[in-house]
Amino acid sequence: MNKRRLLNVIASLALCVLAFSCQNKENTNVTEEETVVKEEATSVEPAADTTVSEALKNGFVVVTDVVPDAILEIRYFSTFNFMGVRVDGYNAPIAYLTKEAADSLKAVSDDVKAMGYRLKIYDAYRPQCAVDHFVRWSQEAADTLMKRYFYPDIDKPRLFEEGYIAKKSRHTCGSTIDLTLFDMNTEKEVDMGSPFDWLGEESHPDYPGVTPEQHKNRMILRDAMVRHGFRGISTEWWHFVLKNEPYPNTYFTFPIE
């Protein structure tokens, strides 16, 4: 099967989101990037533990309370992700963000709705225990269950070495989101040229191998996000961070439930 056809097959499989199993840990502080992103995190200091109820009283919100038109497909609550299991800390298919990020996302939603789209969210706030789960998985060389679907061109041991998996993620700071566009006319996800969490150069926003239509779709999403205060990254078309995030140096631990 050639790569373009495989990408199309995976995009179709993404419609079948699945199963369950999780846990909990503790807060840490940080400075830079990302899980499934080629950026390094610096050393961190412990922060105070936070429960879900405390987080909701102190600056976090349920995204769909602020953006009711958003569609949720929380991939790490399912088994259709690069590990093939439900990820620690994802006890419910809910998306949390800081209020500032959610308010900006509402502006994005209103913007793209006028163009005939809704936002479809794959991931938002991510607890630190989930990132720890990614790291443990990356060290289990024999577990390649989902390799053909998410990282066929990369040997698993290289995922951590090349920065696709890291010990810290901006998602854990609460103002980062992974998302795509949903076409209200076709009632399908917009074709972005690679599926969410595809670990390879095809996911780079400016990858030259996508079609003009796929590139245009990526730019519609990126332009709308940038207009309303987010910034993208060079390795993932779906990933955006609020520029003025309120907790840039705090990594939260409360589970998603």
Percentage of residues in the chain having pLDDT higher than 70:
81
Beta-carbon contacts of 195 under 8 Å, excluding residues fewer than 6 positions away, are 7, 10, 11, 14, 150
As a whole number, mean pLDDT of residues 211-233 equals 99
DSSP 8-state symbol, 173: G
Cβ atoms 87, 20 nearer than 8 A: no
End-to-end CA distance of the chain: 39
Domain range list for the chain: 3-251
pLDDT band at 49 (very low <50, low <70, confident <90, very high): confident
What confidence score (pLDDT) does residue 72 get? 99
Environment class of 213 (CB within 10 Å of its CB; exposed 0-12, middle 13-18, buried 19+):
exposed
Q: Which residues are catalytic?
A: 236
Q: Which CATH number is correct for 3-251, 3.30.530.20, 3.40.640.10, 3.30.1380.10, 1.10.3720.10? A: 3.30.1380.10
For 143-159, the pLDDT digits (tens) are 999 999 999 999 999 99
Whole-model pTM?
0.84
List the structure tokens of 218.
């990526």
The HSE-up count of residue 117 (CA atoms within 13 Å, CB side) is: 20
pLDDT over 60 at 11, yes or no: no
Q: Quick one: average pLDDT of 53-69?
A: 95
Contact 252, 107 (CB under 8 A): no
Is 34's pLDDT higher than 50?
A: no
- Predicted confidence (pLDDT) at residue 37 exceeds the cutoff of 50: no
Which of 171, 195, 184 is closest to 247 using CA atoms? Answer: 171
Residue 35 has pLDDT above 60, yes or no: no
Bridge partner list, 181: 119
Q: Counting every residue, how long is the chain?
A: 257
The first and second tokens of residue 120, run together, are 């479809």
16-25 pLDDT, tens per residue? 443 333 334 3
